């Protein structure tokens, strides 16, 4: 199955749909990622704090898929932002992944109370320039954090990976991204199962109209807005379902009805509270 790619602001391309390994058991990661690769995913999103980079690396090695066909993202954790520690952190991640370079390296949270997120971004620029990351970006950064890092370095992140689903759409951040050329990646794109998203009438009606599942409809809603998504599942059947979203299109009315579900329904932590 061919997943479309989007061009980032640095000229590199990213598959618009990938596979996330948040909360995937490190002992099961190799098997689960191999299943995802078998299902057609080529974009894998991990992070140092997940504790499963080694499993991702083992799956990459075992898959036999050429490196240039894969897009691998990992992230710098909050307690590694100070001084030159980001330079050591990327080396540790690359060693665990068994790679010379990641396709995308992100600052995981701004962790503003720690006061090091601008330093972290300056070090990510060094990491990119050293060839250890092809593209660099951020996660969970709000406009004030983006303003600070861009002003300090003159470098605009390629992506901002944020909590985003129909009940919580972060329009201030997505509008900033649209103006600045920052691609938006949606984590928790299905609301992490923390509210009955699939029972919402616009979602259920669109699923019935297209002969698709509610999850497929919500993923399609993201894709049609130009967002990058990486749903997670431990089951091969669900992985195949989540990637099978490129043979239909929501109508403008269906898209708008799902967009109207916005209600400031954050299901995870606020970026100012994670330090």
Cα distance between residue 193 and residue 273, in whole Å: 22
How far does CA 212 lie from the centroid of its chain? 23
Residue 181 pLDDT? 98
Give pLDDT tens digits for 16-40. Answer: 999 999 988 999 999 999 999 999 9
- Is the distance from CB of 146 to CB of 172 less than 8 angstroms? no
Q: What is the pTM of this model?
A: 0.96
Residue 23 pLDDT? 87
Cα distance between residue 145 and residue 255, in whole Å: 30
Residue 193 pLDDT? 86
Residue 114 pLDDT? 95
Residue 1 pLDDT? 62
Q: Tell me the backbone φ, ψ of residue 154, rounded to 5 degrees.
A: 75, 5
* Residues noted as catalytic: 50
Q: Could you say which architecture CATH assigns to the domain 5-194+221-235?
A: Alpha-Beta Barrel (3.20)
Residue 232 pLDDT? 87
Give the position of tokens 């890092």.
149
Residue 2 pLDDT? 83
Residue 140 φ/ψ region, left for φ over 0, alpha for ψ in the -120 to 50 degree band, beta for the rest:
left
Residue count of the chain, please give it. Answer: 275
104: enclosing H helix or E strand: strand 102-107
The proportion of the chain whose per-residue pLDDT surpasses 90, expressed as a percent, equals 96
- For the record, the structure tokens of 95 come out as 């060693």
Give pLDDT tens digits for 199-249. Answer: 999 999 999 999 999 999 999 999 999 999 999 899 999 999 999 999 999
Give pLDDT tens digits for 64-89. Answer: 999 999 999 999 999 999 999 999 99
Please return the burial class of 234, using the count of CB atoms within 10 Å of its CB with bins 0-12, 13-18 and 19+.
middle
- For the record, the structure tokens of 136 come out as 């660099």
């Amino acid at each position: 199955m061919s997943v479309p790619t989007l061009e980032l602001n640095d000229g590199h391309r990213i598959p618009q749909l990938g596979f996330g390994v948040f909360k995937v058991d490190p002992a099961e990661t190799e098997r689960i990622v191999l299943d995802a690769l078998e299902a057609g995913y080529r974009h894998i999103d991990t992070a140092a704090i997940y504790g499963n980079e080694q499993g991702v690396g083992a799956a990459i090695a075992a898959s036999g898929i050429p490196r240039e066909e894969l897009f691998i993202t990992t992230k710098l954790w909050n307690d590694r932002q100070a001084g030159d520690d980001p330079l050591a952190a990327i080396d540790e991640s690359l060693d665990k992944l068994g790679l010379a370079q990641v396709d995308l390296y992100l600052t995981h949270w701004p962790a503003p109370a720690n006061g090091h997120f601008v330093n972290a971004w300056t070090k990510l620029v060094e990491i990119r320039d050293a060839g250890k990351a092809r593209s660099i970006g951020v996660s969970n950064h709000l406009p004030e954090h983006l303003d600070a890092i861009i002003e300090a370095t003159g470098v605009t992140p390629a992506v901002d990976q944020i909590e985003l689903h129909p009940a919580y759409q972060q329009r201030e951040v997505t509008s900033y991204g649209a103006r600045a050329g920052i691609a938006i990646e949606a984590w928790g794109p299905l609301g992490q199962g923390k509210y009955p998203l699939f029972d919402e009438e616009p979602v259920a009606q669109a699923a019935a109209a297209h002969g698709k599942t509610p999850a497929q409809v919500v993923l399609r809603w993201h894709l049609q807005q130009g967002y990058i998504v990486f749903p997670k599942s431990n089951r091969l059947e669900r992985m195949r379902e989540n990637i099978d979203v490129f043979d239909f299109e929501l109508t403008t009315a269906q898209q708008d009805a799902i967009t109207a579900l916005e209600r400031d329904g954050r299901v995870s932590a606020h970026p100012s509270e994670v330090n």
